[in-house]
Amino acid sequence: MEGIDLPSTMSRPDLIEYKGISMVHYFTDNWEKIQNFQAKPDDIVIATYPKAGTTWVSYILDLLYFGNKETERQTSQPIYFRVPFLEMTIPELPSGVDLADKLPTTPRLIKTHLPVQLVPKSFWEQNCKIIYVGRNAKDNAVSYFHFERMNFIQPEPGDWNTFLQMFMDGKKVFGPWYDHVCGYWEKKQTYSNIHYMFFEDMVEDTGREVERLCSFLGLSTPIEEREKITKDVHFDSMKKNKMTNYSTIPIMDFKISPFMRKGKVGDWKNHFTVAQNEQFDEHYKQKMKNTTLQFRTEL
Ligand code: A3P
């Protein structure tokens, strides 16, 4: 399980409209099985809009639950096997559903980018814990742009300006960022088992966020262990670690851009022109006018 080989049949997919959101077939081909996925009450779901810090939080959870117990897991299983991506379906490879079904661990850690209205109903019925990570729209967009450039199961992003317009129009895989972050935020009002985290808070003080996670999860992880985890999940360590840096996955070309790219708050300032920023802010105000949800675009 050291990595996966790219099936010869793969090519960049077209953007399609599916259940009202933009998608690619790699995340919809297995739809029936995804929607009928049978959750267990102790499953933990890590839900995010793509590029909000999914891998970071996945690795924190993996270490909190299994860091001390299973060395083989830490040294030879890439994070995408330990924390399966539920809706991922690439020909000739085990689907996310199959990987999740076969997870031998308790709890099972499961990743999804589905917007809240498309999360399989079994997770709600079983009252599973859901950890949502949000990231400010500007940095999220920049990170997504570079990700599309280097990841061949995403459509071609075009140039930065084209990408940004499509992002604002909600025409990116997994739909509009605005609806995604607000959808889980609203759900939290009625479903108390959601822990809503922010990428910016994690950058500001990872240790504090690990502690908050433990408290949500009901874990009494000793402080020394939490401190060790905080060190192990530092950007530089994760970038070096083959099990967390995605270097074992052939659908990405690191010569174009690495998966662990910068890990910063405020990199958007290196991408947005003044005009783009003004237009984006105006549009953002409209899109987010009905929510109490707030993001920080700098620290
Ligand atoms: P950048 O492209 O801005 O560098 P996801 O896991 O949801 O795909 O998110 C990837 C983004 O999270 C990338 O952002 C990546 O560098 C960042 N990231 C991952 N691990 C991180 C860490 N330990 N510290 C800071 N940022 C991290």
> Does residue 125 sit within a domain?
yes
Residue 1: pLDDT over 90? no
Q: What is the pLDDT of residue 8?
A: 59
SS3 for 60-113 is HHHHHHHCCCCHHHHHHCCHHHHCCECCCCCCCCCCHHHHHHCCCCCCCEEEEC
How many distinct structural domains can be found in the chain? 1
Neighbours of 162 (CB within 10 A): 12
Phi/psi of residue 216, nearest 5 degrees: -60, -40
pLDDT in tens, 182-236: 999 999 999 999 999 999 999 999 999 999 999 999 999 999 999 999 999 999 9
Helix (H, G, I), strand (E, B) or coil at 6: coil
Q: Is residue 63 part of a domain?
A: yes
Residue 203: the pLDDT is 98
Looking at residues 147-165, what average pLDDT do you find?
96
pLDDT score recorded for residue 195: 98
d(CA 3, CA 110) in angstroms, rounded, equals 18
Q: Is residue 4's pLDDT more than 70?
A: no
What pLDDT score does 45 carry?
98
Tens of pLDDT, residues 42-86: 999 999 999 999 999 999 999 999 997 767 888 999 999 999 999
Q: Is 299 within the bounds of a domain?
A: no
54 Cβ closer than 6 Å to some ligand 1 atom: yes
Rg of the chain (C-alpha set)? 18
Note whether residue 292 is domain-resident. no
CATH of the domain at 143: 3.40.50.300
The span from the CA of 36 to the CA of 97, in Å, is 10
Using 50, 70 and 90 to split pLDDT, how confident is the model at 263?
Answer: very high
295: in domain: no
Q: Is residue 86 part of a domain?
A: yes
Substitution candidate for ligand 1 out of 133, 160, 235, 299 with most atoms within 8 A of CB: 235
**Best residue among 46, 49, 55, 197 to mutate for probing ligand 1, ranked by most atoms within 8 Å of CB:** 55
What's the mean pLDDT in 267-291? 98
Residue 192 lies in a domain: yes
Q: How many CB atoms lie within 10 A of CB 124?
A: 15
Q: What is the pTM of this model?
A: 0.96
By the 10 Å C-beta count (0-12 exposed, 13-18 middle, 19+ buried), 277 is classed as middle
**Residue 236, domain member (yes or no):** yes
**Domain range for residue 165?**
16-287
